[in-house]
Amino acid sequence: MKVIEMLELTQKYAKDYSKESKTSLFRNSHMNEILENEQIEQKVIDAVLVDFINYIAVKHGVDYGLHTSDLRRK
């Protein structure tokens, strides 16, 4: 798999995950220190997802330039 293919696949998974992220975070709270009554803003979740994907890209020598708005595009 080429780097760009890996990044595109990761972006696709991030789009899917973003839609169910809060549920997943609370369901897995035993692994992540999120408290049941904590408020987590979707924009923060999306920012972390995008930042992490761009971080991985840079580690592979790619300026991927993913934006949070890309997670909402079809």
Distance of CA 25 to the CA centre of its chain: 12
Candidates 8, 38, 9; CA nearest to 25 is 38
Give pairs for 70-73: CB < 8 Å, separation 24+: 70/11, 71/11, 71/14, 71/15, 71/18, 71/46, 72/15
- What pLDDT, in 10s, does the model give residues 9-63? 999 999 999 999 999 999 999 999 999 889 999 999 999 999 999 999 999 999 9
- What pLDDT, in 10s, does the model give residues 23-37? 999 999 999 999 988
The residue with tokens 């991985």 is: 56
Backbone angles phi, psi at 44, to 5 degrees: -75, -45
What pTM does this model have?
0.92
Q: Which domain holds residue 64?
A: 3-71
- Per-residue pLDDT at 36: 86
Question: What total number of domains does the chain contain?
Answer: 1
